[in-house]
Amino acid sequence: MFPIAGFVLKPENVSLVGFAVLLIGVILTIGGILFFGQVYDCATSLGTSCPADATVRFAWAFPLTIFGGYLILLGGFTTLAGYVVMEVRRKPL
Instruction: Report the Cα 56 to chain-centroid distance in Å.
Output: 21
The ranges assigned to domains in the chain are 14-90
Q: Please spell the DSSP secondary structure of 2-47, one letter per residue.
A: EEETTEEE-GGGHHHHHHHHHHHHHHHHHHHHHHHHHHHHHHHTTT
Per-residue pLDDT of the chain (93 residues; tens, 9 = 90+): 555 555 666 767 888 888 999 999 999 999 999 988 888 888 787 767 777 777 888 888 999 999 999 999 999 999 898 888 888 877 766
Instruction: Report the Cα 10 to chain-centroid distance in Å.
Output: 23
6 CB-contact burial (10 Å; exposed 0-12 / middle 13-18 / buried 19+): exposed
Instruction: Report the Cα 32 to chain-centroid distance in Å.
Output: 11
